[in-house]
Amino acid sequence: MERYLLVALGGALGAALRYGLGAWLQGYSSGFPLSTLAINVSGSLLIGLVLRLSLEGALSPEARLFLAVGVLGGYTTFSTFSYELLALVQGGEGGRAFLYAFLSLALGFGAVALGYALGGRG
């Protein structure tokens, strides 16, 4: 139960951070999705840092769970995607990394377009 609480509290914090940063950056976007880009890039940087510190033993498993799954999961799931892509590349699986990136983008775009169409008034 404690692990779920860590994730839930971290997720709430991450979502609030995403909302706050997104609202602040929205004034600078001029039609370009700058806030989403900044959140995805900063989340990717932070998950790389958190997971490396965790592997080095500088963070406890509970801190890793709170930060990587909770805070950064609520902040952006793109950071998880980026880390998984890195793990595939580092594991010598360049072909699978490319396939994962391509399918994530293509299927994600297709799914959002389909959902958008399904939600419209016919």
Averaged over successive runs of 10 residues, the pLDDT of the chain (122 residues) comes to 96 97 86 87 93 93 96 91 93 95 93 87 64
Tokens 């399904």 sit on residue: 118
* Binding-site residues from annotation: 73, 76
Does any domain span residue 113? no
Q: At CA 77, angle to CA 71 and CA 79, rounded to 5?
A: 85
* Binding-site residues from annotation for Na(+): 73, 76
| Domains contained in the chain, number | 1
Write down the pLDDT at residue 105: 93
Write down the pLDDT at residue 27: 81
Write down the pLDDT at residue 122: 56
Does any domain span residue 86? no
Write down the pLDDT at residue 119: 86
Helix, strand counts (H, E) of the chain? 6, 0
Does any domain span residue 108? no
Does any domain span residue 119? no
Does any domain span residue 93? no
Structure tokens, 4: 């779920």
Question: What is the residue range of 68's domain?
Answer: 2-76
